Amino acid sequence: MADEQDKSQKTEDPTQKRLEEARKKGDVAKSQDVPIWFLMMATAGIMAAAGPLTAMIADPLVRIMDHPHAFRLTNGGAQQLVASLLASLATPMLVIFAIISVAGVLGHVVQSRPLWTGEKIKPELSKLSPLKGLQRMFGMQGWVNLLKSIAKMAAIAGAMMYAVWPEATAITESGRLDPSQLLLMTQVIAGRLLLAAVVVVGVIAGADFIYQRWSFMQRMRMSRQDVKDEV
């Protein structure tokens, strides 16, 4: 009852000072779906650049298979060959790692300014309590989060099924295709599946960020007395 009365008194928007204090503690509006969407976009970019990246990876292997007599495996030749292969693979792998890393960072930076704080990783007795943990898992918020996850998965699965449905006949007859045609069909289907997932997750991430921002601002609201005390 006291909590409800306290909430009813918080009718004022939070001051900049209150928002900054919350931010210093790592308490900011943030959606977990936004970084996922950025990682999926990065994956799409990697797939779009699969041709050049594959060529960079395959080129040294092709040279070895075309001219095996040019490589000696004695007197340290094997070690040199392995080192050469690893050096050739380093560039494309670093490119992929860099794209994924940048996407992961951007997924957080676009939601709030860069923030370094240890408040969120400090141990709290409430988090260590098994009873509190069960309440979080099986409480109302836990069930809401579960239903949200199921709805997200259903939406993504439905969009992917819709995207690949036109190729249903081709998939059932794929056993008759030669390897090159099968590879092309696989690329087309994979592209459609990824595009459908990116679109749906993008919509979900945008909606969730708006909700998280609204929920955060509601939680930060202040009473008139709180505002006067800060002034």
The answer to whether position 198 is within a domain reads yes
Statement to judge: residues 135 and 217 lie in one domain: yes
The one-letter amino acid code at 63 reads: R
CA distance 59 to 72: 19
C-beta separation of 178 from 185 below 8 A: no
Are residues 130 and 106 part of one domain? no
Residues 66, 136, single domain; the answer is no
**d(C-alpha 11, C-alpha 225), whole Å:** 10
**Based on the structure, what is the number of domains in the chain?**
2
23 in a structural domain: no
Is residue 57 included in any domain, yes or no? yes
Whole domain around residue 150: which residue ranges?
121-221
Is residue 134 located within the same domain as residue 214? Answer: yes
Q: What is the pLDDT of residue 139?
A: 67
Distance in angstroms (rounded) separating the CA atoms of residues 223 and 229: 10
Per-residue pLDDT at 177: 74
Asked if residue 102 belongs to a domain, the reply is yes
Residue 2 lies in a domain: no
Find out whether 42 and 100 touch, Cβ atoms under 8 Å: yes
pLDDT at res. 95: 84
Q: Would you state the pLDDT for residue 84?
A: 73
Give yes or no: residues 80 and 140 share one domain.
no
What is the pLDDT, as a whole number, of residue 1?
A: 43
| DSSP letter for each residue of 167-180 | GHHHHHTGGGS-HH
- Structure confidence at residue 160 (pLDDT): 86
Residues 99 and 133 in one domain: no
The pLDDT value recorded for residue 54 is 67
CA–CA separation, 104 and 98 (whole Å): 10
* pLDDT value, residue 103: 93
pLDDT tens for the chain, residues 1 to 231: 444 546 677 878 888 888 888 888 878 888 989 999 999 999 888 877 776 666 666 666 666 666 666 566 666 666 776 777 777 778 788 888 999 999 999 998 888 877 666 555 565 555 556 666 666 666 666 777 788 889 889 998 998 888 888 888 877 877 777 777 777 788 788 888 888 999 999 999 999 999 889 989 998 888 888 888 776
pTM of full prediction above 0.85: no
Identify the bridge partners of residue 222 per DSSP, sorted by sequence position.
12
* Domain match, 147 and 104 both: no
* Residues 141 and 207 grouped into a single domain: yes
